[in-house]
Structure 1
Amino acid sequence: MSTKPPSSMLGQAVNELEETLIALILGAMTIITFVNVVLRYGFNTGLTWGLEVTLFLFAWLVLFGISYAVKVTAHLGVDALVNVFPPHVRKTLALIAAALCLIYAVLLLKGAWDYWANFANLPQTTGRWFPTGFEEMRRTSYRGWYEVLETPMPEWLRFLEPLMNEGEHYEKIPRFIPYAILPIGMALLLFRLVQATIRIWTGEAQGLIASHEAEDAIDDVKHMNRED
């Protein structure tokens, strides 16, 4: 039986999900682009849906990358002023910054859900800034029939038609599928920021997401110069 706490197991599962999907998306983008180039220059044809799918995959990659970069502290931050203060003040400032980021992530998640819900036959949230509940769904609120422009509907997704389109045939994939990354990505961002805030609170981390690429690059150059 595993001895890991639930939070650790959840974090590991999310980490594996992000890394796996990022790798798969990069691979899919590479394959589609390569095939399209070969078809265009070798056979004077191409995948009409190739560019659209690549754009969708790139959007998924970026939004997955935002949350993953929080986890690996790859986002850039400026902490020159913060480092002037003593440790207990730095921790307070880091917690304030984390609280602001959490509020911002909640706002992003609400906006992402409300936008995606338009296409997924789901209710939007109530509340001007923060979600206070869900609106009452009306028949006129259903937007699941909206399709993308180019990408054809795969046969293995036909089970969605009676659920989302009253049994009507989809010619292209419905928009709620590629747009689903909006609430998923913002939920992952919020999760990662909660993790980072806990690390600051418990003393496991001194800051939120600051990366020191410039300092690391300077150190690398100094090291190379010593070797020369």
Structure 2
Amino acid sequence: MLVLGGTAEARRLAAVLHRDGAFAVTSSLAGRVAVPRLPCGEVRIGGFGGAEGLAGWLREHGTDVVVDATHPFAARMTANAVAATSAAGVPLVVLRRPGWTEGPGDRWHRVPDARGAAALAPRLGSRVFLATGAGDLAALAGIDAWCLLRAVDPPPPPLPPRHHLVLARGPFTADAERALLREHRIEVLVARDSGGELTAAKLVAARELGLPVVLIARPPAPDAPAVASVEEAVAWVTARVSAARERSTPRPPRL
């Protein structure tokens, strides 16, 4: 089976399936980070060459199941996975952790995309923490505010003209995020609705400091079966493999 990864859920899934021993698991990473966290089992790094290239890879490697456990904002990879598995006749399930839910004390402003965030954030404050990862920085490059950027590796241009870059790898604690916001006198936080506990500390810090948050909505859900947890993904894969084995096992003739 192939796990399209790069997330904590993908690493957990690969570890569970690797320990099971019944699955030959290959995890695929996009290669956007110079030194990625590697999952258990076989790993390939780099693109497939679009949906057609991925479909060819699935056929060449005799893949039985694909789990798309990429980031909730990796819309292009997910679209390629849907098209490729359809072309190759391989079952696909999408593993997506739920998005965040606003709670008491939160001051959230939801926007449909990064350009909406670039338009709204300067109206809420003049010093903005763009905690979106490198993927949305090009769309945010025209923002009219001083910006704090954080990334694992230096992001490519274009970038906001007035910015300070911090190179760091999470997860981060709420205490560390609170200190960062105070150190740089941040007035607005911009984040993507990625969901999950590992990246929620910045939202906790913003709530405690009374800061507004501009939250970028997720891309539309793909037209494919979906699960919300590693446990559900394991159950889905196991059921699919069991059904395939039953269909392929010869039945004794009736007497």
With the length of structure 1 as denominator, give the TM-score of the two structures.
0.28
More helix by share: 1
More strand by share: 2
With the length of structure 2 as denominator, give the TM-score of the two structures.
0.26
Flag the structure with more relative contact order, 1 or 2, with Cα contacts below 8 A and sequence separation at least 6: 1
Q: Highest Rg: 1 or 2?
A: 1
